[in-house]
Amino acid sequence: MASALTANSPASPEAMAIRRFNLMLLTVAGLGGLLYGIDVGIIGSALPYLEATTNLTAAQRSVVVAAVLLGSVISTLFSGMLADWLGRKPLMLFSGLAFVCSIPVIAFSQTYGTLFAGRLLQGISGGLVGVVVPLYLAECLSASTRGKGTAVFQWMLTLGIVAAALVGIYFSYRVAAVARVADAATLLAFKDVVWRRIFWVSLPPGLVFVFGSLLVTESPRWLYRKGATKRAHAALLRSRTPQQAALELEEMAATVRAAEAKSGETLHDSLLRRKYVIPFLLACIILFCNTATGVNSLIGYNTEILLQSGLNDLYAHWGYVLFTLVNFLATTIAMMLVDRKGRRFLLIVGTSGVIVSLAIVGMLFRSTEKVTVDARDAVQALAGPSGEMTLHFDKAEAARLIGAAGYTGNELRSDHASLAIIYSYGDFTAATSFVRSDDEAAAPIEITRASCKIRLLILTPLGLRRFALKRRWWAAFRQPATDGLWRLASTVS
């Protein structure tokens, strides 16, 4: 009796070892959430420099941004099967290594294909982490600390998005420093280095996660289902007292016996029963609508939206930091309220906030879109006989185009204007990226037949159908939506 009390006392070596191991489990869980957050948020910091220094079209950039989500969808579909086949620990190692391998693929990429492949691999890693880490925690932690592990994972996920934004603001200051002393060509070359370094900075957390995954044990429940009862008991003893380990081992045995007794039942007896169908469908609809509100797009395009609203590079990145901090604080508050107020209360409050915020942003879009100048004739005159055009959009060129369009108001200024051209080659229609008149390092707008990649033997001459000069407004949030520009230009015409 005395030895048992000693072993269970808070100051005993066994108790200290259990605490250390549980702390390590929570640390690994936190690193998994951090990786997932970096997966989602890092593109928001790198995208402005990626857009400025590459020849990717708007559609290609959209695919690069969405590749992480696509990879997550693909890996999530098979993560449960892989976790049961390989085990929780090997899959955690694989997901960490996939993240580590994705960084050099992205950072060294010179083509759209390799950049997409790196981002897709990053998304596959995030999808696996998002499934296997919470599953591993649920099976390894005791009932008293299981909820804490899930909370740490979600908390660190939002912190990872904040970390990605902080990396972006650091490099934004570096870009601003170079812009003060270097010419436009040097600044453009530095921006090409910057977006690659932003991805390199996210490599250390992946390495630490891989190292931490090597130190933890395999899930005791997975081991027991595979028939390794002794190894399962040994794994339980690392995070529980001997009494708790024996009790949970018996619970596993009872669970396996119950599962075997019900193995003959069909799915109709469980999920597809009438009382479960409607709640299940409602849950799916709620999840779909939650994703459709565009939170992932806002994270990926946040700095781009702020840049197009009129903020300079530094302030746009600060806006991204503020956005991620609000997300982080809201998650922290929700974690503290979820047990006291309930899930339904938080769902109603969160959804109401989404509706109000989207309505406000929509009104801001509407107010700023009113000041648009259609100067297609002036731009069409710049096209060469072969249907190609190069336009360097600076303050002088903005003033010339504004004057050529006959605009006499005071709201549209040449030093705070942005330009987008919607053009066509035959049946092919495309749009250029927005270019700011105050960005001296911006590359010239180049429109060529080769860039359109049309598989036609005969091409019609260049027709610049839509041209829009956009007023810069310091409080507006404007997404790079080609369709919106097309409708607006049509009404002005």
| H-run or E-run covering 35 | helix 13-53
Cα 184 to Cα 52, 189, 308, 438: the distances in Å are 12, 9, 20, 12
- Mean pLDDT of the 324-339 span: 86
Cα 164 to Cα 136, 300, 415: the distances in Å are 26, 11, 31
- Tens of pLDDT, residues 285-300: 887 887 777 777 788 8
Say what percent of the chain tops pLDDT 70: 83
Q: What is the DSSP secondary-structure string of 93-148?
A: HHHHHHHHHHHHHHHT--SHHHHHHHHHHHHHHHHHHHHHHHHHHHHHS-HHHHHH
Cα 414 to Cα 113, 411, 464: the distances in Å are 37, 10, 22
The band of 452, judged by pLDDT with boundaries at 50, 70 and 90, is low
The band of 125, judged by pLDDT with boundaries at 50, 70 and 90, is very high
Cβ within 8 Å of residue 318, ≥6 positions away? 169
Query: Cβ-count burial of 293 within 10 angstroms (0-12 exposed, 13-18 middle, 19+ buried)?
Result: middle
Q: Which of 80-94, 198-212, 406-420, 449-463 has the lowest mean pLDDT?
A: 449-463
Q: What is the b/e burial string over 238-257, where b = at least 16 CB atoms within 10 angstroms of the residue's CB?
A: bbbbeebbeebbeebeeeee
- Tens of pLDDT, residues 385-434: 777 888 888 888 888 888 888 888 777 778 878 888 887 766 667 777 77
- Mean pLDDT of the 231-248 span: 79
- Mean pLDDT of the 244-272 span: 66
User: And the tokens for 473?
Assistant: 């407004």
Say what percent of the chain tops pLDDT 90: 18
The band of 471, judged by pLDDT with boundaries at 50, 70 and 90, is very low
Whether the predicted model's global pTM rises above the 0.95 cut: no
- Tens of pLDDT, residues 359-393: 888 888 777 767 778 888 888 888 877 778 888 88
- For residue 39, the number of C-alpha atoms closer than 13 Å in the C-beta half-sphere is 35
Cβ within 8 Å of residue 165, ≥6 positions away? 41, 44, 45, 317, 320, 321, 323, 324, 325
The band of 261, judged by pLDDT with boundaries at 50, 70 and 90, is low
- Mean pLDDT of the 89-93 span: 91
Strand partners, 422: 431, 466
Q: Which of 19-28, 44-53, 126-135 has the lowest mean pLDDT?
A: 19-28
Assess contact for 436 and 398: CB atoms under 8 A: no
Rounded Cα–Cα distance for residues 154 and 131 (Å): 12
Q: Which of 204-213, 310-319, 443-452 has the lowest mean pLDDT?
A: 443-452
Rg (CA), the chain: 27
- Alpha-helix residue ranges (DSSP H) falling in 54-87: 58-86
pLDDT at 259: 65
pLDDT at 337: 83
